[in-house]
Amino acid sequence: MKKMPEVVRMEEALSFDYQSNGNFHLNFKTNYGFIRSLCIKGMVDDVNNYADNLKRYKNFVQVGIGGSALGATASIEFLQGIYHNLENEKKYFVLDNIDPERMKFILSLDFKDTVFHIVSKSGQTTETISQFLIIYEKVKESLGKDADRHFIFTTGKSGFLRDFGKEHKIDMFNIPDEVGGRYSIFTPVALVPLAFLGFDIDSFIEGAKVAVRAYRNGWSTPNDFAEFAVGECKNGRNMLVFFAYKDRLLSLADWFRQLWAESLGKDGKGQTPIKALGVTDQHSQLQLYQDGPKDKAFVFLDSVNLIDFEVKEGYLKGRKLGEIMETEKISTIKALTEHSVNCTQFFINKIDEFHLGAFCISLMIATAKSGEILNVNPFNQPGVELGKKYTKEALGL
């Protein structure tokens, strides 16, 4: 049977080397809120149009925790690399921890050139709101009545941020009710900072849409990923190492950790996601991975080289850094496999918005399907909510 064009396109865009210990007979049906969010009427146009208002700013600060920041940061580092703030006029900063030292740096920015994107679906996340109130006080002291125009809120339909935004006429975007934070990368949570930096968010969304259409027509990568990971988990590999082999991929491993852990870690079930960086962690973790307990499975995440450098002298003369890195990855996989450690590879064949969108949605589908296999709800987080409850009680809130 002839493959649908979108299936061929995804097979060319993303490569997953699939070997599984089990067949869970997954179907290709999808009816998830994060997929419906791709088609919210006017959402992308609204963000693109609003980006024109942001051209006067040099600094963009994302203030949010977990999924309210990880997706944006991962996307930007994938597309621009880890040194983007040193190379570009437009700067992106993130406050996803409440360490006062990080706040000190953010408060040292020139507020006239800075816009703050405050993200909280509930509109009352303790960490985010505490940071916002400190920042708002300082910006108002500095800029007076112009302070409000230096803030954007992305939040739910109710809560402190929604009320504050209405009172102060602050520009606001909506997080759909059916989209949780860790699944919100295709909403204004990540679209606003991407648009600020000039990225093609239409292509980002289109990559996700094409991947969904491909999946519904039999493109198997999301199911293959779920079958590999959960199959390994059911065979005693209760840790999944996401081994990123480019610096620009490491934040995607951060984003995936939350997605996998918070979605599947319930009812005594789940698989602990671990991030690692090649070749760095070959020299810090590989001894354990190879000769330690056989309780881990591996996904090696890689992408194309955009640049390379050749050694001109010495015993490595004629070798390129990219060649050495690729050889080390292949050798690491070989060594692990020979020690009965199961590995697979996920390769992104181009660094652009389309391929990023396709990659992210494929892992989101894989996570939802893994929830079906494990018989857990991949869209709630009761453990996180309990911790929030105790925090508020301790603070007298």
Q: Are 44 and 191 in contact (CB under 8 A)?
A: yes
Q: Are 103 and 134 in contact (CB under 8 A)?
A: yes
Q: Is 246 exposed, middle or buried (0-12, 13-18, 19+ CB in 10 A)?
A: buried
pTM of the model: 0.95
Q: Is 283 an active-site residue? A: yes
Going from N- to C-terminal start, the domains of the chain cover 5-30+203-382, 33-199
**HEC string for the chain:** CCCCHHHHHHHHHEEEECCCCCCCCCCCCCCCHHHHHHHCCCHHHHHHHHHHHHCCCCEEEEECCHHHCHHHHHHHHHHHCCCHHHHCCCEEEEECCCCHHHHHHHCCCCHHHEEEEEEECCCCCHHHHHHHHHHHHHHHHHHHHHHHHHEEEEECCCCHHHHHHHHHCCEEEECCCCCCHHHCCCCHHHHHHHHHCCCCHHHHHHHHHHHHHHHHCCCCHHHHHHHHHHHHHHCCCCEEEEEECCHHHHHHHHHHHHHHHHHHCCCCCCCEEEEEECCHHHCCCHHHHHHCCCCEEEEEEEECCCCCCECCCCCCCCCEHHHHHHHHHHHHHHHHHHCCCCEEEEEECCCCHHHHHHHHHHHHHHHHHHHHHHCCCCCCCHHHHHHHHHHHHHCCC
* pLDDT score of 396: 72
d(CA 299, CA 273): 10
pLDDT digits (tens, 9 = 90+) for 325-380: 999 999 999 999 999 999 999 999 999 999 999 999 999 999 999 999 999 999 99
Q: Which fold has domain 33-199?
A: Rossmann fold (3.40.50)
5-30+203-382 matches 33-199 in fold:
yes
Category of 234 on φ-ψ map: left (φ > 0), alpha (ψ -120 to 50) or beta: alpha
Q: Is 92 exposed, middle or buried (0-12, 13-18, 19+ CB in 10 A)?
A: buried
Which segments of the chain have a pLDDT < 70?
1, 21-22, 384-386, 388, 395
Q: Are 152 and 116 in contact (CB under 8 A)?
A: yes
Q: Report residue 312 CA to chain centroid gap.
A: 38
pLDDT digits (tens, 9 = 90+) for 250-289: 999 999 999 999 999 999 999 999 999 999 999 999 999 9
* pLDDT score of 2: 82
Q: Give per-residue burial for 174-186: e unless 16+ CB within 10 Å, then b.
A: bbbeebbbbbbbb
* pLDDT score of 395: 67
For 5-30+203-382, the fitting CATH number among 2.40.50.140, 3.40.50.10490, 3.10.50.30, 3.40.50.150 is 3.40.50.10490
Q: Measured in Å, how far apart are the chain's first and last C-alpha atoms?
A: 61
Q: Which two tokens stand for residue 178?
A: 């059916």
Which residue out of 25, 41, 283, 312 is catalytically annotated? 283
